Structure 1
Amino acid sequence: MDWKLEVVVIPVSDIDRSIAFYTDQLGFKLDHDVKVGPNRRIVQLTPPGSGCSIVLGTGQSMPPGSLHGLQLTVNDVRAARAELLKRQMDVGEIQVLGGASARPAAPEENLNHVGFLFFKDPDGNSWAIQEINSRP
């Protein structure tokens, strides 16, 4: 039996601002935006190539900005950073995680499994992007 993670709810304060961030800056696809009551919308977005989507939520049990540790994977973190910068995204430098502490990545360093980018959405929910271009 397969157990697949399908949706993660992201607590946000402003649905429209978050839609713009996740579509325009991150390139997620807007799957649907449905009003289900006078004060409730269901907005689902999916990262390119992902089997798992996010749902933007207001009025959740989690306050906006309280979700941390969300992670995306890409096969080339340098190309991902370049694309996000082109989309005017505020992302840090590529970090290598491993050993005693994080350090900046060297220009030609193999980043498979150890290269990461970090960013936050407009509410402060934090994300990581990890390079994985092969698996053992």
Structure 2
Amino acid sequence: MDWTLEVVVVPVSDLDRAVGFYRDRVGFHLDHEVRNEHMHIAQLTPPGSGCSIVVGDLPAQRAMAPGSLHGIQLVVSDARTAHDELTARGVECSEVTSFDERDGSTFFGFSDPDGNSWSVQEIRARAERPLMPGRPPTGG
């Protein structure tokens, strides 16, 4: 039996601001946004990922303080390129740091407007072998 992680709930204080940040600055794809008398949520997916984030007004979001999610990790094949793309879009990022020469040892980070923090790990092998079979590798 496969167990797949497909959605991470990210607590934010302002859904429209969060959508703008994740879609326009970080480059996530806006899968859908639902607004009705019961809820207002948006689901966004990083390029090449099988896991999305959901921001908005659901019980899971209301149970967490905005900005209280830390250590969410994204993986890219080239940390320097990803860092440069994000900073060019106005995202404040930490410096790219390599702890040693092994693949998977290079990181940088950023936070959303509420303070939810993200770590970006470089795994160079993703350029040739994407994690999700059948999907073409994506850049940075």
TM-score using structure 1 length: 0.84
Quick check: 1:91 aligned with 2:89? no
CA–CA separation in structure 1 for the residues paired with 2:93 and 2:46: 17
* Amino acid in the other structure paired with 1:62: M
User: Displacement, 1:111?
Assistant: 6.4
Aligned length: 123
* Unaligned ranges ≥5, structure 2: 127-140
Task: Give the secondary-structure state (helix, strand or coil) at the position aligned to 1:37.
Answer: coil
Aligned to 1:45: 44
- Richer in helix (by share): 2
Show the counterpart of 1:128.
119
Unaligned runs of 5+ in 1: 99-109
Q: Distance in 2 between matches of 1:97 and 1:44?
A: 33
Q: Distance in 2 between matches of 1:120 and 1:4?
A: 25
**Percent of pairs with identical residues:** 54
**1:17-68 Cα shifts (integer Å, max 9, x gaps):** 0000001110000000011326x21210000000000000345100000001
Asked if the contact 1:45–1:54 (Cα under 8 Å) also holds between the matched residues in 2, the reply is yes
Secondary structure in 2 matching 1:11: coil
1:90 match: secondary structure:
coil
